[in-house]
Amino acid sequence: MEDLKPREIVQELDKYIIGQDHAKRFVAIALRNRWRRRQVPQDLRDEIAPKNIILIGPTGVGKTEISRRLAKLADVPFLKVEATKFTEVGYVGRDVESMIRDLVEVTVNMMREKEEEEVALPAMKAAEERILDILLPPRRETQPFADAEGETTLEIVTRGDSNQDSTREKLRKMLHSGKFDDRYVDLEINERNTPVVEIFSNMGMEEVGFNFKDMLGGLMPKNTKKRKVKVSEAMEILTQQEAQGLVDMEKVVKKALSRVEESGIIFLDEIDKIAVGGGKGQGPDVSREGVQRDLLPIVEGTTVNTKYGMVKTDHILFIASGAFHMTKPSDLTPELQGRFPIRVELDSLTEHDFMRILTEPKNAIMLQYQELLKTEGVELVFTQDSVAEIASIAKEVNDRTENIGARRLHTVMECLLEDILYDAPEVPEKKITIGAEMVRAKLESIKEDEDLSRYIL
């Protein structure tokens, strides 16, 4: 992250997202400001609050993708949640604090995986020794040992003499060369059966449920189960067990909580669904306002209790998004509006944008289908006019029915390639060229029938 300047962040986002340059600039600035804040003197650092963003635009134009790619690019804790999943405290459902608990859980898992990667080599060596102990058990011998009360027999486990050591080294070489990979060994695997218990409370059903399960898990005895597994599989299982034993979970949790507080990002989707249009409402509108009131302290900065410890939300970056078809950002409560100072309107996609989305990104839709069919030995080729025709049909269907943005391209492509994908394993011709005529022949009749296109395209 230290090396990525805003311009470079936008260039990286351009590899996956077409257009929306204005939105990319704002999120790039927001991400760079996280790094800038960490360089500021300590006394001022805590005073600099993140500038939260609202992305406004119809579905399928890249709002979620911008945030997801941004988090991957910066390698920071990231969580996407739907605002409609939450209810006001006192109603049955998820409370807004659960998003912080989920973010912490994601981050702890992320940090633990990183720590396990760092100890992968010693874990592998320890697992190798355990495998060799199974293949060549240490020699046991009994020796008399005189103590103050008389003679006591002790059992001493030794690696044995030089002959056994040389045999062990031979087995080690054979293990490295893969000669034992298909051989079966008996392996004891720990199993813990914890009863499923769920509790409803004002701190959130999921949180109490986890804590209760953790408590019961500590009381339950560990059951070991003997399984016959191949040496290659046993090596993976034992390496994982050794890595878990080498990881210091207290250190992992401490680092995870720090990462969440300093660089966490929460993407709050569908925020327009909790806005109340036309002033004060009744019925469900009251609950929507309640969700906004509950959301305000989280966004403003508060302390949330999680099973790993207390987490401050003052410097978590919130990126909200919504189509705002039926409502507008000003329908949110004034306090919540003030916590999202940056508002960016995303552009609707044009026919030219559709053509670029089909071919240009690293994960371009056409490239995905070409690689899928390559596994069957089929080469799929799209002509330039076929790309233009697909983009034109997708744009026209969006205009005539519901505008679902770039997601319409997936629907059109599935419909176009249905027969090819079905017959690919048996088709004699291994090179298939898609032209504009073929696209029209397959999709024109569906496109012309408006009722049919609503269901199929």
Which residues make up each annotated binding site for ATP? 18, 60-65, 269, 335, 407
Q: Which of 338, 353, 328 is nearest to 405 (CA)?
A: 353
Whole-number Å distance between alpha carbons of 413 and 1? 37
* Residue numbering of the annotated binding site: 18, 60-65, 269, 335, 407
Is 384 exposed, middle or buried, given 0-12, 13-18 or 19+ CB atoms closer than 10 A? exposed
Find where tokens 């049909």 sit. 393
E-only strand ranges, 327-370: 342-345
Query: What is the rounded CA–CA span in Å between residue 288 and residue 210?
Result: 28
Query: Token digits for 207?
Result: 């949180």
Residue with tokens 């900065």: 301
b/e map 79-108, b = 16+ CB within 10 Å = bbbebeebbbbeeeebbbbbbbbbbbbbbb
* 222 touches 192 (CB < 8 A): yes
Q: Tell me what percent of the chain is helix, strand and coil, each rounded to the nearest 5.
A: 55, 15, 30
